[in-house]
Structure 1
Amino acid sequence: MSVDPLRGVGCGFAFQTAKWLVDTLAPCIQQERSTAPALQNYTKRVSRELKGRRFFILDYAWRHGFNAIERLNFSAAAKDTASSRHLHTFGSRLIGSAKFFAPSSLLRAAWVDLRRPAAPSAQPNAPV
């Protein structure tokens, strides 16, 4: 997506959508059928798969700092291995926005954030 303000992130979207396009069009081209219906399906898939990410990319680009949900997820990830893995799977595009922001995920992040205090340092014994 060309809306991405973060360096390099849009490359992943370009490769992913290119794969979807090839997967959608290849059967039509091989069987010499019209590509119009396949292109409509491709458009719907891109919209369905990436609309959540597009929303958060645009939201991030328009404001300074993280929103409350982002702060909650980053805070929980710093305190809990499972929350950290969940954040990683979203950041590496292994899951979409709907799964990342599912109510069960947000409840877990809130529970972790409330139950575990912030650590004074990632390396408590390191000289500062």
Structure 2
Amino acid sequence: MDRETALESIKTPFKRLIAGILISEGSQFIALMAPLMIIFVFKVMEIDPEHYTISFGIITGFGALVAAFANPNGDALIDRTSLKFGRRRTWILMGSVLGSASLMGIALSTNVWFIGMFWCAANLFFNFGTASATALVPD
């Protein structure tokens, strides 16, 4: 097999799909990491200045548990979705919109418990969206 034939066999006819997956995965990763690393810490410090390290640790710990639960169970839910819009597109869109709404809830929170609930919801929805985008690769 010569070099040109090998390179042609590597190229995918789904360039738009690859661009969509990269944009989806990248934006959801940024949506989760930027609040966690920058804004989230300051919000917890503002609400609970004396025990913010404990509060931050508990909130992120529960968020990680939700994320660990959401990804595999989200895949099972996504595979059983049969909507006209499409099972993957539905959850990518819903995960992004509801995850963003959860981040807005964090911004408007006045209590550490509300921050924890909204952070868990953001992890749940963004992981559903990420699982949908990741499942596009083998499809």
TM over 0.5: no
> Greater RCO between the two (CA within 8 Å, min separation 6)?
2
- The two structures have a TM-score, normalised by structure 1, of 0.41
- The two structures have a TM-score, normalised by structure 2, of 0.38
More helix by share: 2
